[in-house]
Amino acid sequence: MDDRQQKALLIDPGRRARVWCRDCGRELKDEISRMRRLGPECDPEPRGGYDRHDVDQDPIPGL
């Protein structure tokens, strides 16, 4: 029998794998960010949880 056997790699099953943003390289904590592999600042697709509203504006005179 060979004495140079590789030892088993033990991984803690309770810990999540670390995921980083594809664009900026920051570690991602948010589940949606982790799935998309893009942080909220780098993700071009808007997310539902942010406070966004559009404001009606008066047309510019002369155009």
Provide the whole-model pTM: 0.49
- Model confidence at 50: pLDDT above 80: no
Chain length of the chain: 63
CB distance 21 to 34 below 8 Å? no
Ordered by start, the domain boundaries in the chain are 17-41
Mean pLDDT across 46-63: 72
Q: Give me the phi and psi of 27, to 5 degrees please.
A: -70, 135
For the record, the structure tokens of 1 come out as 């029998």
Give the separation between CA 58 and CA 6, rounded to whole angstroms.
Answer: 72
10 Å Cβ neighbour count for 32?
Answer: 14
pLDDT band at 14 (very low <50, low <70, confident <90, very high): low
Element (H, E) at 33: helix 31-36
* Mean pLDDT in residue range 9-30: 82
